[in-house]
A and B are shown apart, each in its own frame.
Chain A
Amino acid sequence: MREKTHIPSRVPPNSLGIKSLLGTEFLEKKQIEQILKYSFLFKDLLDSGKPVPQTLSGKTVILLFFEPSTRTRSSFELAAKRLGGNTLALSKEGSSTEKGETLIDTAKTVQAMNPDLLVLRHPSAGSPFHLDQTLDLPVINAGDGFHEHPTQALLDLMTIQQFKGKIEGLKVLIVGDIAHSRVARSNIYALQKMGAEVSVCGPPTLLPPKVEQMGVEVHYGLNKAVRDKDVIMTLRIQFERLNPGQSPSRGEYSKFYGISESVLKAAKSDVLIMHPGPVNRGVEISPDVADGSRSVILNQVGNGVIVRMAVLHLLTGGELPKGLV
């Protein structure tokens, strides 16, 4: 049912062999490896101050954001510009239907401007699928409802690879509101494909039903969950989006699911602390942990730009000069 979409002839062939990046569920291990390979390649260039090949030169990337986002949008924008591409950011609050124009109409209008790639952030799961099916353009899902946020997972993989030297065999714990988290879903699929063991921990009201069928270990209590983990990812909790009944209060959430130094006493000494941002300091993570030596939160931000460079480069069929790859 969820097969790969065909690649229309208008879209240049690319070495990933996919038209669009809709989710990590649809990526194969070798595709993830290739994205990571290019990410580290770009990172080396940037770190050594060498010029980055302008493979997006003359190309236009549209950033269509139906949800407020500063980080992801600016990350994509910077990624495109570093590769010499143009960007056009279009923001729409809420659903297109509330404005009388459907999402598909908006997207067709955008396609008529003849861009080379579309990045979509949308509050409803599946929206990038609709665009992918309608448009002869590569579409990157920059977050669809609770469903997926694949570039976030890819930048998390890159960060883990950078600090742990590997992904395979690592034990990764994701803590928080898993039910409403696209970051969690994308990470579960991507980490498992790369051979990591994934556990989730959160209040039972905020875990998706049947989440264990995704092949993850499920914990309700944090203290036991953090033991023997190599990586702890804590998620941003958005109380304003929760129903009454999902969590009684910030204080109580923080007491049971906040990552603090005292919780980490039970964890490995070299555990990596990650957070997709923006951080609610003192709620899902205490300030001393967020700023502590094991935290790689700011490295994630930097790697985010680099991973998005790799994805933009690969999906637009760009070629690097020989000798670089």
Chain B
Amino acid sequence: MSADLVIRRARIFDPSQNLDLVGDILIENGKIQALGNQITVPPGKTIPELDAQGWLVTPGWIDIHTHLREPGQTHKETIKTGTEAAAAGGFTSIACMANTKPVNDSSFITTYIQQKVAADSLINVYPIGAITKGLEGQELAEIGSMWEAGIVAISDDGKTVMNSYLMRKALDYSKRFHLPVVCHAEDAHLKGRGVMNEGFNSARFGLRGIPKASEEIIVARDILLTELTGARLHVAHVSTAGSVALIREAKRRGIQITAEVTPHHLTLTDEVVGTYDTNTKVAPPLREPQDIEAVTEALADGTIDALASDHAPHSVEDKEVEYDHAEFGMVGLETAFPLYYRIALKKGVSLKRIISAMTQKPAEIIGIPKGTLNLGADADITIFDPEMKYRIDKKEFRSKSKNTPFDGWDVQGKVRYTIVAGKVIYSEAPRGHR
């Protein structure tokens, strides 16, 4: 599905090349052919043109933490609806977690997902394999076979590998395949039946708390095991100031560790749980203002490398129940960008850092040749309008699920075009702009 295209008069913004200039991009056969001023189209060719004046053109965005629910829970999301949501959110590449039903713990399931992706998706989808069979934390999954089939990382995300011996072995084994091990850090015993952050607000609201230490203990353990094994660790959805301090210290010591933060852990505190809106129930839970400050600062200084949505669709039946009984998780693909951009606008984190954390860094973490507008690179491109203000309306979501706490939020920054291999796969341009 490679194509030709010229993007004109855009502000080209690519952190991987330290690029911020106004100019044109020429795409031929789905690859970046030229960047510069007033590019002329090769003679004898008619190439469609796209006027991007006033908009930002960046490498296509990458979300390394999504749940597509297929196979097994297609009433919540399918590969088709999840990737349509991703495209509408400006994402050209996503990685999908292994906690499908059945679990992606074999090359058979990996291949199944890839075949569905080939048939149903307009964007790139990279499966993540399970660390343990069935996510049960008992035996290693066939990581090598899944690697041959094309997984880009391993993770039991949604659960923590509580057996430290097995986690150590997973880290050891991952080195053979150069796969990052993505840790979901929640000590199952400390978490218990908790449903929100443990603190003053859990005491007020009468809900069982999940202490920050339940995350930090596992982050600390996995840092030590990574140091022991020399493997590569990626910490998913960092939510506490304590985790940030541990990761910062580990990086200083030269341990191979990367980390991500979600839009909701950057913007919401556990105060919002007081409405008992089950769309605020998420794992790890929403924390406190000092944690938001710490993860924001860590994003700014690069301690936290990447932004990731942790898109976790759940149906109305899973959410329209008592807070105790609701599933953990919220959809994120279609609200992620304006919330990230809000951090740039309101918290002073540089746009370069935000875009890098959505392009170059996630590409590095999962080892894919994306996240750049280098000459010759795949022409995966996202174009957004930095000025447009709008109100989030969950009824407009492409995702099958609408479990968001951000419905009705006024935000700024809207995706105009999502382009994969030079082909426009999503557009929302004002009338007459094309």
A interface list, Cβ under 8 A from B: 1-2, 25, 95-97, 102-104, 122-127, 129-130, 144-148, 179, 182, 185, 208-211, 213-214, 243
Contact = CB atoms under 8 A, between A and B. Distances in A.
Given A95-B321, A127-B276, A214-B203, 18 more contacts: A1-B271, A2-B275, A97-B321, A103-B322, A104-B320, A123-B324, A125-B207, A125-B323, A145-B207, A146-B208, A179-B203, A185-B203, A185-B204, A185-B206, A209-B199, A209-B203, A209-B211, A214-B204
30 contacts: A1-B272, A1-B275, A25-B204, A95-B322, A97-B321, A103-B322, A104-B320, A124-B322, A124-B324, A125-B206, A125-B207, A125-B323, A125-B324, A126-B206, A126-B207, A126-B322, A129-B276, A148-B206, A185-B203, A208-B202, A208-B203, A209-B198, A209-B199, A209-B200, A209-B209, A210-B203, A211-B203, A213-B200, A214-B200, A214-B204
Interface string B201-219: 0111111110100000000
Contacts of A1: 271-272, 274-275
A97 B325 contact: yes
B387 interface: no
B193 to A, nearest CB: 9
Given A124-B323, A125-B276, A210 B205 contact: no
B275 A127 contact: no
A148 to B, nearest CB: 7
Given A129-B276, A130-B276, A209-B198, A103 B321 contact: yes
A243 B194 CA distance: 13
B72 interface: no
A72 B208 CA distance: 24
A8 to B, nearest CB: 18
A126 B323 CA distance: 7
A209 B202 contact: yes
B192 interface: yes
Contact of A126 (B205, B209, B271): B205
Contacts, number: 83
Contacts of A214: 200, 203-204
Which among B211, B320, B321, B322 has the highest number of chain A CB atoms within 10 Å?
A: B322
A189 to B, nearest CB: 9
A95 B325 contact: yes
A121 B413 CA distance: 45
A18 B208 CA distance: 28
Contacts of A213: 200, 203
B275 A129 contact: yes
Contacts of A124: 322-325
B274 A146 contact: no
Contact of B321 (A25, A102, A185, A209): A102
Interface in B252-287: 271-272, 274-276
Contact of B192 (A125, A148, A243): A243
A97 B275 contact: no
Nearest to B280: A1
Interface in B331-360: none
Contact of B206 (A95, A96, A146, A243): A146
B317 interface: yes
Contacts of A96: 321-322
Nearest to B316: A102
A123 B323 CA distance: 11
A97 B326 CA distance: 10
A130 B202 contact: no
Nearest to B322: A124
B314 to A, nearest CB: 14
Contact of A130 (B198, B199, B203, B322): B322
B269 to A, nearest CB: 10
Nearest to A207: B203
A18 B202 CA distance: 25
Contacts of B199: 209-210
Interface in B284-328: 317, 320-325
A95 B202 CA distance: 21
Contacts of B211: 209
Contacts of B325: 95, 97, 124
A146 B320 CA distance: 20
A147 B206 contact: yes
A126 B321 CA distance: 10
Q: Which one of A122, A124, A127, A182 has the highest number of Cβ atoms from chain B below 10 Å of its Cβ?
A: A124
B317 A102 contact: yes
A123 to B, nearest CB: 8
Contacts of B192: 243
Contacts of A127: 276, 322-323
A129 B323 CA distance: 10
Contacts of A129: 275-276
Contact of B324 (A25, A145, A179, A209): A145
A182 B206 contact: yes
A213 B207 CA distance: 16
A127 B277 CA distance: 10
A172 to B, nearest CB: 18
A179 B208 CA distance: 9
Nearest to B211: A209
A102 B320 contact: yes
A25 B203 CA distance: 12
A126 B276 contact: yes
Contacts of A25: 204
Contacts of A145: 206-207, 324
A126 B325 CA distance: 11
A248 B431 CA distance: 71
A179 B211 CA distance: 15
